Amino acid sequence: MTVFSNYTTLKTVNDSVVSPAVQRAIESVTGNYDIYDVLGDKRTEVYEAIDKALKEKFESYDLEFVSFTITDQDAGDEIEAAIKNESVKQKEIDTAKQEQEKAKVEADTKKVQAQAEADAGIIKAEGEAKANKAKSDSITDNLIRMKEAEAREKHGWVTVNGAGSVITNKE
């Protein structure tokens, strides 16, 4: 343990190695972020970067680094309120994006359903048109005469008596 041979006491190690290393690591890492990130969304990322920097620093002193905790994170009421507001706004934006996506999916679904119904209507109309054409093509003069003969055979002959005027003048 070279560190203890150079610094002799735990207090000296803490004052000469640990405290300055922690201070430099925090300053170095947090300097790459703004205060909103450090106290907000990227807090975990910042802590991981500080953790990595401290492990590397303490390895050079043959010290095993386990973990660290930042206990005083007071950035002042204004900044903390701004961070809260930013977080609320971000959640509102995320919610709005989700609602937009949901509306888009619903609109796409309705569009697909409407298209399917329209296609089904076209297919039905085409089928009816083909059936009507087939019926129309199958009607011939011979068929008409045959149906007429069948009807006369079943119901008898219909005759019209007289061809005179139904309206008469009375004077």
Concatenating the DSSP letter of every residue in 83-122 gives HHHHHHHHHHHHHHHHHHHHHHHHHHHHHHHHHHHHHHHH
Write out pLDDT tens, residues 109-163: 999 999 999 999 999 999 999 999 998 888 888 888 898 888 888 887 766 666 6
Write down the pLDDT at residue 1: 52
Which of 55-59, 84-88, 161-165 has the largest mean confidence? 55-59
The enclosing H or E element of 144 equals helix 141-155
Tokens of 9: 């006491």
Cα separation of 91 and 140, whole Å? 75
Residue percentage of the chain with pLDDT more than 90:
28
Estimate to the nearest angstrom the gap between the alpha carbon of 86 and the chain centroid. Answer: 23
Write out pLDDT tens, residues 34-46: 877 777 778 888 8
Single pTM value for the model: 0.43
- Give the torsion sign (CA, 66, 72, 75, 81): positive
